[in-house]
């Protein structure tokens, strides 16, 4: 799922994934992202940081607090070269961080790798 308020970014990422035979859900912002997670979406989430109403960090906080994180991997896809302090307390939930303009090959490889990890099933409980 690409979560970005910029239509151009959503479309370009969608074209990229479809050209490789992949599928991509799109969300214009945090609210739409949460709705899709509530509806059962599981997968890799490419999350923008700077979005109106609810930014990427607040969206992640909501994902965690509503118990929607499990079974997903969050990658920040952002123009911000350095994450701001708001990321620090939720960094465990931010698996990777890619800066725009992104390298299409790197993005596809990253999404493919993290997508493959989500197909794994639990082996055992810790401790």
Contacting positions for other proteins (CB under 8 A) = 69-71, 73, 76, 82-83, 87-98, 110, 113-114, 116-118, 120, 122-124, 126-127
- Phi and psi (nearest 5°) for 33? -60, -50
Measure the CA–CA gap between 73 and 98, rounded to whole angstroms: 14
Sequence-separated (6 or more) residues with CB below 8 Å from residue 120: none
Nearer to other proteins, 28 or 100 (CB): 100
Measure the CA–CA gap between 109 and 22, rounded to whole angstroms: 12
Nearer to other proteins, 35 or 89 (CB): 89
Least separation in angstroms between CB 14 and other proteins: 23
Least separation in angstroms between CB 64 and other proteins: 8
Least separation in angstroms between CB 116 and other proteins: 7
Nearer to other proteins, 38 or 89 (CB): 89
Other beta carbons within 10 Å of 106: 10
Nearer to other proteins, 52 or 92 (CB): 92
Which of 66, 76, 2, 69 shows the shortest CA–CA distance to 42?
69
């Amino acid at each position: 799922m690409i979560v970005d308020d910029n239509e151009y970014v959503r479309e370009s990422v969608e074209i990229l994934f479809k050209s490789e035979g992949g599928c991509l859900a799109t969300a214009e912002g945090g609210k739409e992202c949460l709705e899709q997670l509530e509806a059962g979406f599981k997968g890799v989430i490419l999350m923008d940081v700077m979005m109106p109403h609810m930014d990427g960090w607040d969206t992640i906080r909501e994902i965690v607090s509503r118990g929607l994180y499990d079974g997903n991997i969050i990658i920040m896809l952002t123009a911000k070269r350095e994450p701001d302090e708001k990321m620090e307390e939720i960094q465990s939930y931010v698996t990777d961080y890619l800066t725009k303009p992104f390298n299409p090959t790197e993005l596809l490889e990253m999404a493919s790798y993290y997508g493959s990890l989500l197909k794994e099933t639990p082996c055992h409980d810790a401790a």
